[in-house]
Amino acid sequence: MVFCNPKRRKGSLAAALFAAVGTIVAACLPAALRGQTGGAQAANAARAVGTIKSVSGNKIVLTTDAGGDVSVVVQQAAKLVRVEPGQKDLKEAVPIPLEELLPGDRILVRGQPAEDGKTVLATAVIAMKKSSIAEKQAHEREEWQKHGMAGLVSSVDPAASTMLITLPGMGEKKTVTVHLSQETILRRYAPDSIKFDDAKPARLEQIKVGDQLRARGTRSADGSELTATEIVCGTFRNIAGTISSIDASANSITVQDLATKKPITVRITSDSQVRKLPLPMAQGIAARLKRTGADSETGSAAGGNPSATQGTRAAGTQVGGAAAGGPGGPGRGAGGGDFQQALNRMPPATLGDLQKGDAVMIVATEGGPNGMPSVITLLGGVEPILQASSNASTILSPWSLSEAPGGEAGNP
C-alpha cells in the first residue's frame, strides 16, 4: 500500500493537516479506538494525505503526495471536518457531510488498512477545499509581489542577524540590507527540488554568499533596508554553454560549460521552464549588455561621474521593457520582473526543440543524491547574448523560480 511519508509534506497546507493528527486521535476517532494506541489496531493504523482525484458514494480515489493513488472507503461512523488553510489545529474545524468532498480538495485520511492491502478504511478525514487553497495562494502571491524583493546574497552577518543582497539589473548594482528577527520565517530550498513546498526550515548560518534569495516584509523609506517577515533561499547553479548531447529517454542534456570548460549533465523535469528566445529579443538583450559594459568602463575612466554612467542605469531599467517585451509595472526598475513575465508569455519549448550545438543558459538545482542537477529555467536561442557577455548567464538570476511562494510549486 502506498501512503504519504510525513517527511514529504506539501508546504504549510499539508503541515496544517499533519499538525491536526494528534487532535484527531483524541477528538475524532471513535472512543473504542482511543484507548488502543498500544494495541494491534494502532500498530496497523494507516494515514494518507493528498488531493482527491474522484469521489463516488463513500469511495474516494486519493492521489497522495508520496506518489500514486490510494483507495479510501469512508466508514459510516467516520468523523469528517473541514479546516481553512493556515489553521494549525482543529479548534475551528467545521463538521461536513461526505457529499461536500470534491475532486481537487486536499484531505488527510486516518484509518485502518483493508485486507486487500490497497485500501484505507477511513475513520477520520480532515479536508481543505480546493477553492480555499486557491484563494489563500493568490493572496500569498500578491503579498510577495507587493512586499517582496529578490536578489543574490553578497554577505551574511549572523551576529547582527543581517545580510546584504544585490538586486538584479544590468546597470549599476543596488544592494539592500535584510534584517531578521526571532519571528522571521526562514526556509531553504531542498538541493534536489525546485518547489517552494519542499523548502525546509533553515537558520541564518545556512545562507551562503551567492545564494538566490527572496524576502518579504517592511521596507525602509529609501528602499535600502527590509525587515523580513519571511525569507526563502537556495543555492542554484548558473550554466552557460553549448549542448554536446541529448538523451531523450532520460530527459537529460549534457552542456559544455563555458566557464569551467567541463561537461555538465542536467535533467529536465515536469517543473522545468524551457523557452527559446526569438532572435530579435536575444539581439536586443545582447545590445544592452554590450552598451552596459561600455558605459561601465566609461564610468570607471570618468572617476564615477554620474553623467558618465547614466547610460548604464538606463540600460538596466530597460531590459525588462523594450528588450524583453515586458509591459513595465512593478519590478521594472530592476528589470527582472518584466524579464520573467516575458519568459512566462513565451510558448513552452520541449527537449525536441533543442539540438546538439545549441547555445543555452540554464539555472539548475545543486543536485540530489545522484548528483544530477534539475533544470529550473533553460533558455535557448541565446547565441547573441553569450557573444555579448561572458557573464550573461546571471541575467536569469534570481528570476528563475517558476512561481511565487503561495503556489503549489512556487518560487520566491
Residue 194 shares a structural domain with residue 152: yes
Task: Answer whether residue 206 shows pLDDT above 70.
Answer: yes
Task: Answer whether residue 1 shows pLDDT above 80.
Answer: no
Q: pLDDT above 70 covers what percent of the chain? A: 70
**Residue 341 domain-assigned (yes or no):** yes
**CA-CA distance, 202 to 207, in Å (whole number)?**
8
**Residue 402 domain-assigned (yes or no):** no
Residue 250 shares a structural domain with residue 361: yes
More confident residue, 386 or 412: 386
- Cβ-contact 324, 285 below 8 angstroms: yes
What does the pLDDT read at residue 169?
63
Residue 267 shares a structural domain with residue 383: yes
Residue 261 shares a structural domain with residue 342: yes
What does the pLDDT read at residue 225?
95
The domain that holds 34 is classified in CATH as 2.40.50.320
Residue 233 to residues 87, 177, 271: CA-CA distances in angstroms?
25, 15, 18
Residue 22 shares a structural domain with residue 154: no
**Residue 409 domain-assigned (yes or no):** no
**Residue 213 domain-assigned (yes or no):** yes
E strand intervals along 344-394: 359-364, 375-380
Residue 54 CB-half CA count within 13 A: 4
**CA-CA distance, 146 to 329, in Å (whole number)?**
12
Confidence at 305, pLDDT banded by 50, 70, 90: very low
Confidence at 338, pLDDT banded by 50, 70, 90: low
Confidence at 347, pLDDT banded by 50, 70, 90: confident
Residue 274 shares a structural domain with residue 373: yes
- Cβ-contact 123, 30 below 8 angstroms: yes
- Cβ-contact 334, 326 below 8 angstroms: no
Confidence at 8, pLDDT banded by 50, 70, 90: very low
Residue 107 to residues 84, 98, 189: CA-CA distances in angstroms?
12, 12, 25
Residue 380 shares a structural domain with residue 241: yes
Residue 50 shares a structural domain with residue 162: no
State pLDDT tens for residues 75-96.
999 999 999 987 877 888 999 9
Per mean pLDDT, which range of 111-115, 133-137, 331-335 is the poorest? 331-335
State pLDDT tens for residues 272-293.
889 998 898 888 888 887 776 6
Task: Report the predicted TM-score, pTM, of the whole model to 2 decimal places.
Answer: 0.58
What does the pLDDT read at residue 344?
72
**Nine-digit cell at 403?**
512561481
Residue 225 sits at φ, ψ, to 5 deg, of -135, 150
Confidence at 319, pLDDT banded by 50, 70, 90: very low
- Cβ-contact 80, 98 below 8 angstroms: yes
Residue 153 shares a structural domain with residue 78: no
More confident residue, 74 or 324: 74
Domain boundary among 199, 234, 269: 234
Q: What's the chain's average pLDDT?
A: 75
**Residue 2 domain-assigned (yes or no):** no
Which H/E stretch holds residue 278?
Answer: none
**Residue 45 domain-assigned (yes or no):** yes
Task: Answer whether residue 209 shows pLDDT above 90.
Answer: yes
Pairing assessment for the beta strands 225-234 and 175-179 based on DSSP bridges: parallel
Helix, strand and coil percent figures for the chain, each rounded to 5: 30, 35, 35
What is the edge-to-edge ordering of all strands in the sheet holding 359-364? 263-267, 252-257, 237-247, 359-364, 375-380, 273-276
The mean pLDDT of 228-241, rounded to a whole number, is: 90
What does the pLDDT read at residue 369?
59
Q: Is 114 helix (H, G, I), strand (E, B) or coil?
A: coil
Residue 219 shares a structural domain with residue 155: yes
| Domain count for the chain | 3
Pairing assessment for the beta strands 225-234 and 185-188 based on DSSP bridges: parallel
The mean pLDDT of 156-176, rounded to a whole number, is: 85
What does the pLDDT read at residue 156?
96
The boundaries of the domain holding residue 74 are 11-128
**Neighbouring C-beta atoms of residue 30, cutoff 10 Å:** 12
Residue 243 shares a structural domain with residue 230: no
**Residue 407 domain-assigned (yes or no):** no
State pLDDT tens for residues 242-270.
999 999 999 999 999 988 899 999 999 88
Q: pLDDT above 90 covers what percent of the chain? A: 38
Task: Answer whether residue 334 shows pLDDT above 70.
Answer: no
More confident residue, 231 or 29: 231
The mean pLDDT of 355-368, rounded to a whole number, is: 87
What does the pLDDT read at residue 125?
95
What does the pLDDT read at residue 150?
85
The mean pLDDT of 383-402, rounded to a whole number, is: 65
